[in-house]
A = this chain, B = another copy of it.
Amino acid sequence: MCRWLAYSGSPVLIEELLYRPEHSLIDQSLHARLGAETTNGDGFGLGWYAPDSQTPAVFHSIEPAWNDRNLHEVASHVQSPLFLAHIRASTGTAVQQTNCHPFRYGRWLWVHNGLVRDFHRIKRDLALAVDDSLYASIEGSTDSEMMFYLALTFGLEDDPPRAVERMVGHVEEVGRRHGIEHPIQMTIGTTDGNSVWGFRYSSEGKSRTLYYSTDMRTVRELYPDRPRLQDLSDETRIVVSEPLVDLPGAWNEVPESSYGVVHDGEDELHPFTPVNTGNGG
């Protein structure tokens, strides 16, 4: 079980989100509340978009986030309008930088909480479906990265929701063909640097938690005495595995089998339905 966070909005010091809230992501690395495991100490990752840069930066570490000095240095000296952070609890694969989220391809970042069940048994079949031109770019050994490359194969760069629905459909087909009852469990965050998509789904219909922040106007009206909130633009939005602060009215659960889009204009929330790719057999 992992934890992740996506921020989109007014440029802020990354530290503001990762370290300062009462129940920040860094605090969750030692004391997660809503997951099966309380410790997420098997590495960490941060991806952020910088002005004038074609691709996002990624910082990966195999040390626990709570004591990684370099992470704190970067987070307290870099401002960004859009970033993803992830703390990892390995479900068996090696603790190494290439297994740390967010994964990056071109302008895209990808984080995942959950697992492909019995991944070891179906890994080869899943790998065969990855596009030939993408296969050699897979650097690590996780189910999460494999899901990313499958989504890229199925058109992530053109139609993210559809590509993720096809990826999930494919994993379920292959899994069930191998007799796996509930092949996939996930929340996913992905972004191209402009929009952020957040997905919540599991084959068994009991998915890991995912929350998004209420729109900032509402939050500001509810809490006029919180000065830090007054500076954030109306468009600012946070998507996160578990709430960062106990602020009633500030967090909404992403419903089961749904996905949301954070972008310019009104944000969206839609049902999520895996799509059969016909390649599973």
Contacts and interface: CB of A to CB of B under 8 A. Distances in A.
A124 B120 contact: no
Number of copies: 4
A230 interface: no
A73 to B, nearest CB: 5
A96 B124 CA distance: 22
Contact of A67 (B90, B124, B139): B90
A242 interface: no
A67 B50 contact: no
A39 interface: yes
A179 to B, nearest CB: 16
Interface stretch (A53-61, A169-177, A267-275): A53-61
Interface residues of A, number: 48
Contact of A30 (B39, B63, B93, B128): B39
Contacts of A98: 94, 96, 141
A139 B139 CA distance: 10
Nearest to A72: B57
Interface in A119-138: 119-121, 123-124, 127-128, 130, 132, 135-136, 138
A101 to B, nearest CB: 14
B60 A63 contact: no
Interface of A: 30, 38-39, 41-42, 48, 50, 53, 56-64, 66-67, 69-70, 73-74, 76-78, 90, 93-98, 119-121, 123-124, 127-128, 130, 132, 135-136, 138-141
A70 B60 contact: yes
Given A53-B76, A53-B77, A96-B97, 17 more contacts: A30-B39, A38-B38, A39-B39, A39-B41, A41-B41, A42-B67, A48-B77, A50-B78, A58-B73, A62-B63, A63-B95, A69-B94, A93-B139, A98-B141, A123-B135, A124-B135, A128-B128
Contact of A97 (B57, B60, B69, B124): B69
A98 B140 CA distance: 9
